[in-house]
Amino acid sequence: MLVHIPKNDLALAISRVQGAVAEKNLGHIGLKAVQKKLRIMAADKVLAIYCDLDCNVEQQGTVFIPAKFFADVVKELPQGAVCLQSDDSWLTVTAGQKGEFTIKLPLKEDLNWMEAPKFASSSNVALSPSNKISYMIEQVQFCVAQESARSYGAVGYLHRIGEGTVRLVGTDGFRLSYCDVSFPMPKGFLPEGVSISKRALNELLRMCHEGFEEIKLSISDDQTTLCAEVEGYRIFILLSAVKYPNYQGVVPKEQPARLEVSRPMLQSVAKRVLLAAGKTKALQMHFSTEALTLSSKNLGSSEGREKIELANYQGPECSLAINGKYLSDVFVTTSSDELQIQFKNHEDPVVLVPAKEPKDCLSRHILVPIRESE
């Protein structure tokens, strides 16, 4: 293999495929030079990422190299053209205006190039606006754990809820968030719900943040693989076999008490009051016609309290406790300056609703109150 390629193009591609290298010190990256393209690939048990780069190919070939070593080398290369040349045992990287920098990387010889999967049907495909997909993931991913004792706690559940609306749900059993986004999609798209790991959601979010207007989402006929694709960049995701529970059972149907508060104000007040909470992070919320009072205490050694005046609250006087960390996570997630708090009593879930969201997007954050016995 002998190719010449701009350093910036190579660096972007290597950065992209790193998401499919679960163990950076042990993983490998594949390079395949064909015609006028350099194809770069990395894969593990969950993800396979492919990038195609335009370049000058003098000699075709396929090699595998240590992922972390190569990524570190590419990161430090000087700007300009990079030459990649392989022989039987090494990949030689040459860079600099006069080729003054050279480094050799050992080749991994017992690996075979894995071609990208091809889906037989084209019916389960949708062109999805990247800004809506990124917003949907951002509103939910904090509820999805990297690992969880509950199998459903480590995946997000993506499913269709209407003619042109998809919903992503995440829950760890103590809180639940979901986000609906609407856009034109074929009737055959997403016929069944699919479960997606946190790692995969992170990679989808990364693709969205690169500034592409649309992302092509495809699901294999056997419902085992999802592909997110833009020109020259594809992410294949092995969908989780986790059967997602009926989360609708914990979504409150009726929340008669409602009030709107300033999110920045509630965020700053909660942060101050929680200084007295210690490790429990328990936050007491007392609702009355005059004010919302936040308080916390730590085994009698410290106590914090602050009031937020309410203008038009017409609900019942009520006290409940929630996990302050979960509330703080919602503050970080939402960009709306106004939050609506909905609840029924001290035992039923509390629902946080952003007052302003992007067009055709709707999210809800549901917190389970802490019981007195807890």
What is the tens place of the pLDDT at every residue in 158-193?
999 988 999 999 999 889 999 999 999 998 899 899
Could you tell me which CATH class the domain 125-248 is placed in? alpha beta
User: Domain 2-106: what homologous superfamily?
Assistant: DNA Polymerase III, subunit A, domain 2 (3.10.150.10)
What pLDDT score does 50 carry?
A: 98
Q: How far apart are CA 40 and CA 63, in angstroms?
A: 10
Here the tokens at position 87 are: 């022989």
Q: What is the pLDDT of residues 344-366, one digit of tens each?
A: 888 889 999 999 999 999 999 99
Please state which architecture CATH assigns to domain 256-367: Roll (3.10)
| CA-atom Rg of the chain in angstroms | 25
**Domain coordinates of the chain in residue numbers?**
2-106, 125-248, 256-367
- Residue 68: count of CB within 10 angstroms of its CB: 16
The answer to whether domain 2-106 and domain 125-248 are alike in fold is yes
Residue 250 CA to residue 260 CA, distance in Å, equals: 23
Beta strands 2-6 and 56-59: pairing type?
Answer: antiparallel
Is residue 196 within 8 A of residue 226, CB to CB? The reply is yes
| pLDDT the model gives residue 275 | 92
Question: pTM (2 decimals)?
Answer: 0.92
Strand 155-162: give its sheet, edge to edge.
194-197, 155-162, 165-171, 175-182, 361-367, 350-354, 338-343, 257-262
CB 252 within 8 A of CB 366: yes
Q: Take residue 31 and report the two structure tokens written for it.
A: 């390079």
CB 331 within 8 A of CB 267: yes
Element (H, E) at 269: helix 263-273
